[in-house]
Amino acid sequence: MSFLSAETARALAELVALDALDGAAGPDGEDASPLERLGGIRSLVAALEADPAVLAAVREAVAAGIGWDEIAEAAGLSASAAKYRWAGDDETISARQEASRKRKRERPSSVPTELPGLSVAEAAARYGVTAQAIYQRVTRGILRAETVELPDGRKYKRVFPDEPDAG
Work out the mean pLDDT of the chain and round it to a whole number.
Answer: 87
CB 118 within 8 A of CB 130: no
- pLDDT of the residue at 73: 96
Mean pLDDT, residues 51-67 taken together:
95
CA pair distance 58, 163, nearest whole angstrom: 62
- pLDDT of the residue at 165: 47
Spatial CB neighbours of 7, under 8 Å, sequence gap ≥ 6: 47, 50, 51
Mean pLDDT, residues 115-142 taken together:
93
Residues in the chain, how many?
A: 167
- pLDDT of the residue at 108: 64
Mean pLDDT, residues 47-65 taken together:
93
**91-99: which pairs have CB atoms within 8 A and are 24 or more residues apart?**
93/55
- pLDDT of the residue at 20: 85
Spatial CB neighbours of 147, under 8 Å, sequence gap ≥ 6: 155, 156, 157, 158
pLDDT band of residue 27 (cuts 50, 70, 90) is: low
pLDDT band of residue 22 (cuts 50, 70, 90) is: low
pLDDT at 133 over 50: yes
pLDDT at 102 over 80: yes
Cα pseudo-dihedral 122, 128, 133, 139, rounded to 10: -60
Mean pLDDT, residues 120-141 taken together:
93
Strand ranges of the sheet holding 144-149, from the earlier edge strand across to the other edge: 118-119, 155-160, 144-149
